[in-house]
Structure formats: C-alpha cells, structure tokens
Structure 1
Amino acid sequence: MAIKGVAIGGIENSGGQAGEGRVKNAILIAGPTASGKSALALDLAERKGGVIVNSDSMQGYSVLDVLTARPGAAELARAPHYLYGHVHPSTAYSTGAWLRDVTRLIEEGTFFDRTVIFVGGTGLYFRALAEGISEMPEIPQQVRDRWRYELKEQGSAKLHRILLREDSAAGMVLKPSDGQRIVRALEVLDASGRSILDWQAMRGRPLVDRASARFFVIEPERAALVSRIEARFDRMLDNGALEEVRRLAALGLDADLPAMKAIGVRELRAAMAGELSFPEAIERAKIATRQYAKRQATWFRHQLGPEWQRLRPGDDVKSTISAAVSGAN
C-alpha cells in the first residue's frame, strides 16, 4: 500500500490529491531555441531509461511539427516523449494548462520508476515546475469565446476601460494595448467573480522535488547560435514548412492565437500572399528567431536562480550533465 510522502520510483506519492505528487530526481534542461537541448535530453533519456516531457509552449501545438522543431519520428522512437503536439492551434494553451497536463501524467503513473527529463525554452514552465503556480479557475468555453469576440470587435483599449471599471486593481497593472492579458483578466473575473490578482496570490505546490532535482541551463556562444538558427530554418523550408503554414492558414484561426504567432508563420504567409518576396520573408523569420533566442537567454540569465547550473561556451555539456546526474543518483 502506498503511504503519503514515501517515494515510489520517480514519484513521491501524494495520497491522490491533484498537484501534490512531486517528481523526484527530475532533470530540467532549459535553453534558447536551437541550442541543442533536445538532443542532450534524448541522449540522456536513452542512457538513463528516462522519459522526456516537452517544456516549450509552441512545441505543444499540433500542425506546427516543422516550424517548432519538434522531435521527428526517429527521435520519438528512441525514447518516450510527452506533451508534444497534443494541443490544437485553436486553443490558447497556458502555463497553467501545461502544469495540469504534467499533473495528469504524474497521477496516471506515467513517470513511475523512470527518470523524468523536462526540456524546453519556456521559462515560465520551469518556474511553475520548481516553484508552483497560482491556481486559476476553469474558464467555460462560452466565456472564453465571448471575450475573444469582444476583443476583436471593440479592441483592447475599450476592454481595458471595462476592466478598470470592473476590476480596477487588475486594470491598473495592465497596459491598454495588452489585449491578451486584458481578456484573460476579464474572463477570470467573469467565470469566477474574483479578480485575477486574487487567484495569482495563491501559490501552488511545486511538482518537482527541488532537493533531488538537477537544473541545467544552456548558454551557447552567440555567433554559433546564430549560425545554427539560420541553418535550421533552411532545413525547415526543405522539410515542408510552407505546406505546414498552408495547413495552419486553412483552419481560419484568429491571428491573435498563440499558435498563429509561431515564428515563421506570419512571414511565410506574407510571402505566400505576395506581400513579401520569399527571400525577404525568410530573412525576417531568421531575424525574429535570433531576437527570440536573445530574449530567452536574457530571461534565463536574470530569472533562474543559483540552483541552475550554467553550461557555457567551452564546456563539455554532455559530459557535465552526465557527471552531475550520475553523482546525484
């Protein structure tokens, strides 16, 4: 019989309460796009008999196989991968939704007696894993649809005035131009009758056991990363990125949805519509990717704490991670 608080395999049993089970001996690998983190995670998973959990917001969406650089069939065959491509692009997937998906995997016993490797580039996912996240209410689809429609019809400035009237505290901390966050605050208020600030003040429990977890963040050399980014985007084009954008466009989705903002979608759609030449669209997508990688690196540098081991240019990254993980187990 399982006893609350006793570690069973890779999971600390929680007595069945959602969100309380903590993954023990987890390995977290963060890094900017194109930094090679997925290959490191796969190598480690093969050697440790582990499983890989996607910790990148864009790689969770279906359709966007190529443009989000999701693992292909060959990689998926080498180790179990979870939370890749499981969300339809019509959904505005959130950190809270991702954390609930991880919790579900824990409770289903997916990680039982396995090394769990979280890998990706979304800093908020890692923060939620290690520090917990504020619980948010479930938003009925009709409420979500209503406020998205209002944003489209009335614009963010008018919705901001509504938010200031109905929830002045939340309205004061949001910019009138920040339509997505304004809509989020309004739908939470509509669904629960409480301010989003009240919900954010309630911190959840971490899903990984910090004492036994190992934290790594890759800090690649800038010039090498730029080269990798450009070569990778060229491969994406060779591997069907244009067809992928066509399939996404055929869904007729709202341009404000997160999946529609994946790097390369807007640029390639513009080229397909004749608004840009293809060489210009490709260059713009590469520039956008470089800028995104820089933002990621800056976030990791300033937001991740001292428990995160920095893997810098010149380090033998694979050997460093292997030695650290072996020494911990």
Structure 2
Amino acid sequence: MATNGMGGTTKLIRNAVLIAGPTASGKSSAAFRLAEVENGLIVNADSMQVYDVLRVLTARPSLDEIERVPHQLYGHVSPAETYSVGMWLRDVERLSQNGAFEDRMPIFVGGTGLYFRALLQGLAVLPDIPSEIREHLRQELLDGGALPLHRRLAELDAEGAASLRAADGHRIVRALEVLEATGKPLRYWQGQPVSGVVDQTSVRCLVIEPERAVLHARINERFDRMMDEGAREEVRAIQAMSLSSKLPVMKAIGLRELIAVEQGRLELSTAVEQAKAATRQYAKRQSTWFRTQFGDQWQRVQAF
C-alpha cells in the first residue's frame, strides 16, 4: 500500500511498464505493440494529450489503435479546464481502485516527466480548494496580471514568493489559494510523507532516445502528417471556443502558429516551419529532463 499524502492509502499498481521519451520518439507505437502482445492497457502520461479537441495536433493514438487496445486518460479533459499532475495521479489511482489493471498489464506512456515522477515517488495531495476561492483568484489573475498577486503572496509567505517568478501566474495563484484555504503554505503540504503508486519491485522503466537526426526527421514527417489529417480544423474548433490564452492547452505546439495563419498574420509554410522548430526544441528539453532527472532505474534504448 502507498501513502497518498492525506493520511490515506492506495493499492500499489503491480507489473507496470513505464515508457517515456521525447515527442515523436516512437514511444506510443512501442506501447501499442507491447499492449497487443501482453494484453496491456495503455495509460496516457502526456500533459497535452489529456485535452479534448486536439487529437491530431497533440499526436494522440488513432481511432483504430483505440479500438484495438484499451486506452485511458486520453482526451478526457475539456480544453477550457486546467489539469494538473495531482489531478492526473488521482485519475490513475481511480483506475487502479476500480480494477482496471487486475487483468491487464498497465503501460504508462508519454513525455511528461512529472507524471512519471509522481507514479514512482508519489505526490503531496493537497486539500480541496473551495471553488469560490479558486475562481476569485483566477479572475484576479486575468484582470490584473501576476505581479499584484505575487506582491500579496510576498506579504503572506515571503519564502514561497521568493521561490516563484513574479510572472508565473498559475503557480502564484496555486500558492495563494492553498494558503487562503488551509492557512498553511504550499511547501507544508508538499513536505508531507508520500510514496509512489506503482510497485517498485515489479515495475519496468524505459526511456526511448533515438539519435538526434532520426528524431528530427520523425518530427518533421509527423507534423506534415498532422496537417494532412486535420490539424487546421482542430485549431479552428479551439478558436471557436474563445479560450483564455493563459490556459495550458494553448501551449500545445503548433496551435499558436496555426492560429496566426487563421488570423492572416502568418503564411502557412512559415507557420509549419516554426512549429517544427518549436517541436525540435521541446524534444531537446524533454531529453535533457529525462537525462538529468531519471536515475539508474530507467533503461535507455534507441528503439523498442
């Protein structure tokens, strides 16, 4: 059993396979092949693939793959919502408690390192924040920006404010809402003892790291394929929702560039090249994170 950070426990997930890697590394295909052979259930561990609407632009599994192998936690969150690693971990625990992994091998695949860290090391579970507190602070962020909120946090919790950039509105709001709702700073809750939710004795951890030239070629080819498969239609659907630019989904690579095309501010060919370059830069940041944050528990392979 694992401590969930609130004094409760959750059943450990046994015989899990964790497959991480930079975007376009082939990890989703590897997870799919493994799931077919081992009667697996694939669980998304990518913070962008949780959002609905952007199936193509975030490279979610195809409809055929989803029909052939069970997938969970893909496209289950509205783009209008903010989804956190804590919410994701609770969703994983819910799957476990509901017996999703009893007859199938759990295969977690994605490119979000914090999701894998939460699986292996646990995550402090914060108390529920009253919706009125959360909505009020978020509205303040939209109306006045992050700086006034950062000043308020500095008055209430100087140490917490010093650890955050004054422009990091979402983290500042998070710190303020926890402080206002509980009377204790965020670091207090983050310091509570927790443990991972996967069984360390049976888990297998893989990082897929193709050679750079191979990865860059895959990135370029995949974005061209996205364009052919309806990426622009997805972008128009997001535009129709009139979402705040501060929402996490708006950080999806390619979205900003293609919105600029729809608004007549950028040529399509230029937008495509910029999106490909941004994807390559993102893959480099992911690889650096995996290299510096993942330890000896992780087996590193060029392909799987």
* 57, 61, 72: which one aligns with 2:47: 57
Is 2:291 the partner of 1:307? no
| Amino acid across the alignment from 1:197 | R
SS in 2 for 1:53: strand
Instruction: Indicate conservation of the 8 Å contact 1:160/1:171, yes or no.
Output: yes
Q: Separation in 2 of the partners of 1:269 and 1:141?
A: 31
SS for the counterpart of 2:10 is coil
CA distance in 2, matches of 1:141, 1:275: 38
Q: Does 2:212 align with 1:252?
A: no
Distance 2:99 2:83 in 1: 23
- CA deviations on 1:217-250 (whole Å, 9 max, x unpaired) are 0111111111111111111111111110111111
Of 225, 232, 247, 1:235 maps to 225
Moved more, 301-310 or 203-212: 203-212
Gaps of 5+ in 2: none
Distance 1:85 1:165 in 2: 39
**Partners in 2 of 1:24 and 1:175 — Cα distance?**
39
Alignment of 1:284-299 (within 5 A): 284-299=274-289
Return the offset for 1:308.
0.2
The 5 A counterparts of 1:269-288 are 269-288=259-278
Aligned to 1:146: 136
Question: Which letter maps to 2:38?
Answer: K
After TM superposition, the score normalised by the length of structure 2 is 0.96
Q: What corresponds to 1:74 in structure 2?
A: 64
In the alignment, what sits opposite 2:211?
221
TM-score normalised to structure 1 length: 0.89
Distance in 1 separating the partners of 2:288 and 2:59: 21
Unaligned runs of 5+ in 1: 6-11, 319-329
Residue of structure 1 equivalent to 2:17: 27
Deviations 1:230-271 (CA, angstroms, capped at 9, x unpaired): 111111111111110111111111111101111111111011
Which among 74, 97, 105 is matched to residue 115 of structure 1? 105
% identical equivalent positions? 54
Do the aligned partners of 1:20 and 1:205 also contact (CA within 8 Å) in 2? no
Tell me the CA shift for residue 191 of structure 1.
2.3
Letter of the 1:275 partner, please give it.
R
Structural RMSD (CA): 1.5
Q: Verify the 8 A CA contact 1:216 1:309 in the aligned structure 2.
A: yes
Q: Is residue 18–residue 107 contact of structure 1 (8 Å, CA) maintained in 2?
A: no
Q: Does 1:205 align with 2:188?
A: no
Distance 1:231 1:108 in 2: 39
Select the residue among 157, 179, 190 that pairs with 2:147. 157
The aligned counterpart of 2:79 is: 89
Q: Which runs of 4+ in 1 moved over 6 A?
A: none
**1:86 aligned counterpart, secondary structure:** coil
Structure 2 Cα separation of the partners of residues 193 and 251 of structure 1: 36
Q: 2-side partners of 1:223 and 1:138: how far apart?
A: 46
- Give the drift of 1:18: 5.6
